[in-house]
Structures are given as structure tokens and as C-alpha cells.
């Protein structure tokens, strides 16, 4: 089977690293990681998180990139190329579905961040941020329109292809993202509550390291943060040249992703603790869209600070959205031979239709705000299905495929092609065979028990 002409390839190793890091860095880094650190024992959580990255998620990231480069295909076709005539292609299909499912709700939240750039400029949030957010998310035309805007921007980038679209977009926005993070972190450290916020964020509670809940949270955060189990890294790996050292590039992606997540904490907690009644256990939309705007409205230069913060969130969201859309687009190009333009239009339209119920789940439509029998809203349901269940399952299948279907020895040969750097290949093989599957099984069991309980 010939490689489709519309597939494309990375123009440089730096371009790939920034694109992969852009996929990894998203809204979860900006509000998820700091909150998990605070709730999980400060520095103790960081230790567990780094252990999960080193022993489980890092090896799987390398495995996904190796599968992609070896096959030169997107997820479904990749498994068929390496192990033809077997049902392993279903693992790739899960990744493609996860890409569409995650983007359908992720685009809604990304639309909120874009809207809040304008709301902060105009001072619309200055009165009662909580009431404003409730009114905003229940405004159907506005939330659906902002979701559509995110999908259109993302589609426009993907239409440009790998080098002229994804690579150019991320190599431009990633330095902007890092620059905004550094500026906001410096500014937050000058606020009145900075010292108390830093103490909360970095204070170690090593007794929490034995807590299974902390391990579960750390592994889940690491898994989602690195875009594992959703087919993104297989797809991005398929655009790599044989001259690119996969292990070294993966380490750069991990370093950038972790550093940006840590920097986000240096913004969130010093800023939050400058509010008298700030609750550090607040997370997600409650933290970003209701708590922090109160501070921006009260501090000198707060409007500028707030605009920069929501611009930062928007950049992080868009770089992740691009990678999510590329997975199903690459699938249609590889498996069905579609031209890129047709694939982008069809996938964007289908994902937008699936996104509408999530956009209406904030109070605009009662049927989506509180689903019958489930007692939750449609957006939360999508988060649970795709983030909490599909991604760990996808990662488990990746580890088992490389360890026992493709086999570690073959994967190592791919990783060491043209003398590429791969330290301790035996250790990597041990981690992908035993440590990663067991660790992921733990998080799947804990998640299922929590859902059933």
C-alpha cells in the first residue's frame, strides 16, 4: 500500500518536538496539574508524578512514536502494517475515536477561554464572576458559536498540512506560550499572597506518597498530559524521518510538558492566595472562570494580567486541538485514500455536531444539562468516557502490543535505527513489558470502582 501524498512530514526535529509538546501542553497543564499538586501533598505529588512519567508514561510515549515511524501510518493502518491480519487494528480505532470524542468537548472549553479574552478586556466579569459564568455557559448561541470558532481555526491549521500547517503553527505559538507563562509567573510572585501560595504548592507531605489515590491522580494526569492512548503520538511519529532519534526527542517533549505544568502552578497558587477567601481545592472551570477573574478585577493592571492569562489558555488549548483533529484526518487519508481537504471538512463537521450537546450542557438545554438516569451533564459524561476510560485502555493496549505482538526486540531495532541514542534498551523493555501494564491496570480498576461506587 503506497503512502498517501497528502500525508506530509516534519521539516525539522525541533518542529516535531514543539508540535508534540504543543499537543501535550493543554488546559490540563494550566489548571489540572497545579490543582492535583495542591490536593496530592505538594512536592510529594510531584515525586509520584515524575515516577509515573519515568516508569510508565515515558516508555509508552517512546513506544507510540516507534509504532508510527515504523509503519509510516496513522493508528488503524499502523497496527495493520506491523501485524497484518490480526485484530490489533482495533487498538488504533480506539485512538481515532478518542481523538474525535475528546476534541468534541475540548473545543467547548477552548471556546470559553477565547470568549474570556474579550470579557476581560471589556470588564464584563468584574461584578459577580460566578453568576457571569453561569449566564455565559447557558447562552446557547454564544457557546456554540465559540466552539465553532475553535473548530474553524483548528481546521484551518490542519488544512495547511504537516509542515506548512501544524509545524508552522506550533513553532510560532509554543514560544509565545512559554513567554506568557514566564511573564505571568514573575508577575504572580509579586502579589500579596505569593509566599502563602508557594508554601501550599511546594510544601511536601510525603505521607501521601503511599496513598493509592495520589498515584491514581498522578498517573492519570501524566497520561492525559502527554497525549497518550489517543493516537496522536502514533500519528505524529509517522511523520518522523529515519534520522530522528525517538528517545531523545521524547525526553525533550516530556521536559517541556512538565516544565510548563510546573510553571502554571507558579501562576495559579500565588495568584489565588491573593484572594482572601480562595479555596485551593477548587479546580477546573470553577478556578479558572470564577475565582481568578475576581482577582484580575481587583488588582492594579488586572485587566492586562487577565487578558494575558486567557490568551495563554487559548494558545494551550489550540495547540492541543490541532493534534486531536489530525488523528482522524490522518486516518481517512491513510486508510480510505481521501485528500486532506475532504478529510478535514468531514471530520470537522462531524466533530462539531458531536460538540453541540457539550456546548449546551451548561444550562442552555435541560436534557443535556442533566442526563436522565445518569445524573450528570453531557460534557462531564464525555470527559469520563474518553479521558478516564478510553485513554488508559488505549495506553494498556499500546504496551501489550509492543511487548507481546510486535515484540520488544523489534521495537528496539526501530528505536536504534541509524545508531540513534537509546540508553538502557533492556530497562525500557522491562518497563513496557511489566511495569507499564500493571500501573495502567491499577488506574483502570480504581477508575471503574469510582464510577460504580
**259, 256, 267, 261: which is closest to 198 by C-alpha?**
267
**Local confidence band at 1 (pLDDT 50, 70, 90 cut-offs):** very low
pLDDT (0 to 100) of residue 69: 94
Residue 6 lies in a domain: no
Residue 314 lies in a domain: yes
Residue 309 lies in a domain: yes
Residue 5 lies in a domain: no
- Scan for cell 517533549, then name that residue: 253
Question: 116-151 pLDDT, tens per residue?
Answer: 999 998 888 877 888 899 999 999 999 999 999 999
Residue 7 lies in a domain: no
* Residue 423 burial (C-beta neighbours within 10 Å; 0-12, 13-18, 19+): exposed
Residue 193 lies in a domain: yes
For 354, list phi and psi in degrees, rounded to 5. Answer: -70, -25
Residue 53 lies in a domain: yes
Question: 366-395 pLDDT, tens per residue?
Answer: 999 998 877 889 998 998 888 888 888 999
Collapsed DSSP state (helix, strand, coil) of residue 442 = helix
Separation between Cα atoms, residue 209 and residue 188, nearest integer Å: 29
Question: 258-316 pLDDT, tens per residue?
Answer: 998 888 888 888 888 887 777 776 666 667 787 778 777 777 777 888 888 888 889 88
How many domains is the chain partitioned into structurally? 1
- Using the predicted structure, report yes or no on whether residue 317 has a pLDDT greater than 80: yes
CATH number at residue 68: 1.20.1730
pLDDT (0 to 100) of residue 155: 95
Beta carbons of 293 and 129 less than 8 angstroms apart: yes
- Scan for cell 490543582, then name that residue: 35
Contacts of 258 (CB under 8 A, 6+ apart): 50, 53
Residue 63 lies in a domain: yes
Domain of residue 232 covers 13-452
Amino acid at each position: 500500500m503506497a503512502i498517501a501524498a497528502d500525508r506530509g512530514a516534519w521539516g525539522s526535529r525541533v518542529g516535531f518536538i514543539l508540535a508534540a509538546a504543543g499537543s501535550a501542553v493543554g488546559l490540563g497543564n494550566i489548571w489540572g496539574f497545579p490543582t492535583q499538586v495542591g490536593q496530592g501533598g505538594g512536592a510529594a505529588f510531584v515525586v509520584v508524578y515524575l515516577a509515573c512519567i519515568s516508569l510508565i508514561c515515558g516508555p509508552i510515549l517512546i513506544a507510540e512514536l516507534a509504532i508510527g515511524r515504523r509503519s509510516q501510518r496513522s493508528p488503524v493502518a499502523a497496527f495493520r502494517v506491523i501485524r497484518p491480519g490480526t485484530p490489533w487494528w482495533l487498538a488504533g480505532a480506539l485512538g481515532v475515536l478518542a481523538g474525535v470524542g475528546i476534541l468534541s468537548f475540548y473545543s467547548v472549553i477552548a471556546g470559553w477561554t477565547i470568549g474570556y479574552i474579550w470579557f476581560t478586556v471589556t470588564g464584563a466579569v468584574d461584578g459577580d464572576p460566578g453568576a457571569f459564568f453561569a449566564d455565559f455557559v447557558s447562552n446557547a448561541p454564544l457557546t456554540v458559536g465559540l466552539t465553532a470558532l475553535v473548530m474553524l481555526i483548528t481546521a484551518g491549521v490542519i488544512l495547511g498540512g504537516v509542515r506548512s500547517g501544524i509545524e508552522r503553527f506550533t513553532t510560532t505559538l509554543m514560544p509565545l506560550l512559554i513567554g506568557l507563562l514566564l511573564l505571568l509567573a514573575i508577575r504572580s510572585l509579586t502579589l500579596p499572597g505569593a509566599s502563602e501560595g508557594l508554601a501550599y504548592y511546594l510544601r511536601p507531605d510525603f505521607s501521601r506518597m503511599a496513598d493509592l489515590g495520589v498515584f491514581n491522580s498522578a498517573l492519570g494526569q501524566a497520561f492525559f498530559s502527554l497525549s497518550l492512548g489517543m493516537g496522536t503520538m502514533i500519528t505524529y511519529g509517522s511523520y518522523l524521518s529515519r534520522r530522528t532519534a525517538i528517545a531523545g526527542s521524547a525526553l525533550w517533549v516530556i521536559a517541556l510538558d512538565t516544565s510548563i505544568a510546573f510553571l502554571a502552578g507558579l501562576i495559579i497558587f500565588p495568584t489565588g492566595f491573593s484572594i482572601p477567601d480562595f479555596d485551593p481545592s477548587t479546580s477546573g472551570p470553577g478556578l479558572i472562570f470564577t475565582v481568578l477573574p475576581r482577582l484580575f478585577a481587583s488588582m492594579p493592571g488586572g485587566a492586562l494580567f487577565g487578558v494575558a492569562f486567557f490568551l495563554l489558555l487559548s494558545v494551550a488549548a489550540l495547540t492541543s486541538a490541532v493534534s486531536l483533529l489530525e488523528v482522524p484526518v490522518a486516518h481517512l487519508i491513510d486508510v480510505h485514500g481521501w485528500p486532506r481537504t475532504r478529510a478535514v471538512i468531514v471530520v470537522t463537521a462531524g466533530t462539531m455536531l458531536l460538540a453541540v450537546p457539550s456546548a449546551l450542557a451548561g444550562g442552555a438545554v435541560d436534557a443535556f444539562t442533566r442526563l436522565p438516569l445518569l445524573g450528570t451533564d453531557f460534557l462531564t459524561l464525555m470527559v469520563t468516557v474518553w479521558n478516564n476510560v478510553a485513554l488508559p485502555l488505549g495506553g494498556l493496549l499500546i504496551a501489550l502490543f509492543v511487548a507481546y505482538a510486535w515484540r520488544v526486540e523489534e521495537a528496539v531495532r526501530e528505536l536504534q535505527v541509524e545508531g540513534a541514542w537509546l540508553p538502557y534498551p533492556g530497562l525500557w523493555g522491562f518497563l513496557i513489558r511489566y511495569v507499564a501494564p500493571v500501573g495502567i491496570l491499577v488506574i483502570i480498576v480504581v477508575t471503574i470502582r469510582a464510577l460504580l461506587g
